Structure 1
Amino acid sequence: MNSAPQSPAAPAARRRMSGIGRVLVAVYGVLALAALGRSFVQIVQKFDEAPLAYALSALAAVVYVIATIALVRSGRGWYRVAWATIVFEFTGVLVVGTLSVVLPGLFPHDTVWSWYGRGYLFIPLVLPVLGMWWLAKHRPAAGTPAETPLAVAAERPAS
């Protein structure tokens, strides 16, 4: 039996990371890896062909990585980071998706968010909506510490 005291955020994190929450995080993780891999290959092999598209793919990859981490971590600070990244992601999908339809010459090669995520089976369009719904249903408790990425780093002992 584990006798270590649990933080007040532990029950909320467990609740958020169960059932559909686990599936949501898994899909975010897979999308993060896919976007990272795609953008790395694009930037290394042919960045000069479509620098805007490939830079946006790299940005999308970073957003997915941060969103995945924020969804897994507990605390009000991480909850806010999750909201910020998911709203940014949704905005990016809508803006880049619309621009790629209206001005296709702007993106000679696809990005993760081109055509609303067509290259990823439109998952980039649907995923942030599900993420926002999930976050709205699983708010941290009022007494949950405001653990933020900076606070976690500050608590770690210097090596």
Structure 2
Amino acid sequence: MRDDRTGSAPAPDRAGLGTGRGPGRLLVAVYGLLALAATGRSVLQIVEYFDRAPVSYVLSALAALIYVVATVGLARGDRASVRVAAVAVTVELVGVLVVGIVSYAVPAAFPDKTVWSHFGSGYGYVPLVLPVLGLLWIRSRRGATGGLSGRR
């Protein structure tokens, strides 16, 4: 897309949704921190204790990957990245709800806390609240820029 006045590419803030700006910086920082924490814990659990609960530890590693994708997408802030982040955050919300329910229904499958087990209680319930905040932030940025379709 070119700027009609100068013929050059538009400035990043005009081309994207600005999801990593303003209050979005805090959201990106929390996602990044959670990505690091979930990655570290899942790697340790897979390497040291995999035989105890392989499914829960693999789900924890998947959660870590989803946090990385969401972090990068929100930080970049262009339309395609925000679309990817929105999908990642939606999958995250579904994951934490489903795994949260299953971890209470079948506690033997989750002998240790993982990022999504018990609705993220081992992480101060941040995994439960963060995707809701992420989706609200993405929605607010879409509204501020006329949506993701390029219409303004």
Q: CA deviation at 1:110?
A: 2.1
Give the 3-state SS of the residue equivalent to 1:111 in structure 2: coil
Give the 3-state SS of the residue equivalent to 1:71 in structure 2: helix
**Which segments of 5 or more consecutive residues in structure 2 lack a partner in the other structure?**
1-7
1:133 is the counterpart of 2:136: yes
Select the structure with the greater relative contact order (CA < 8 A; seq sep ≥ 6).
1
Q: CA deviation at 1:12?
A: 5.6
2:150 corresponds in structure 1 to: 143
1:26 is the counterpart of 2:29: yes
1:58 is the counterpart of 2:61: yes
**Are 1:8 and 1:143, in contact at CA under 8 Å, matched by a contact in 2?**
no
Q: What percentage of aligned pairs have identical amino acids? A: 51
| Structure 1 runs (4+) greater than 2 angstroms displaced | 5-19, 140-144
Q: Matched residue pairs, number?
A: 142
**Cα deviation code 1:63-94 (max 9, x no counterpart):** 00000001011322111101100000000000
1:79 corresponds in structure 2 to: 82
**Which piece of structure 1 moves more, 18-27 or 112-121?**
18-27
TM-score (ref. length: structure 2): 0.84
Q: Distance in 2 between matches of 1:6 and 1:119?
A: 45
**Which segments of 5 or more consecutive residues in structure 1 lack a partner in the other structure?**
145-159
RMSD over aligned Cα, in angstroms?
Answer: 2.2
Q: CA deviation at 1:37?
A: 0.6
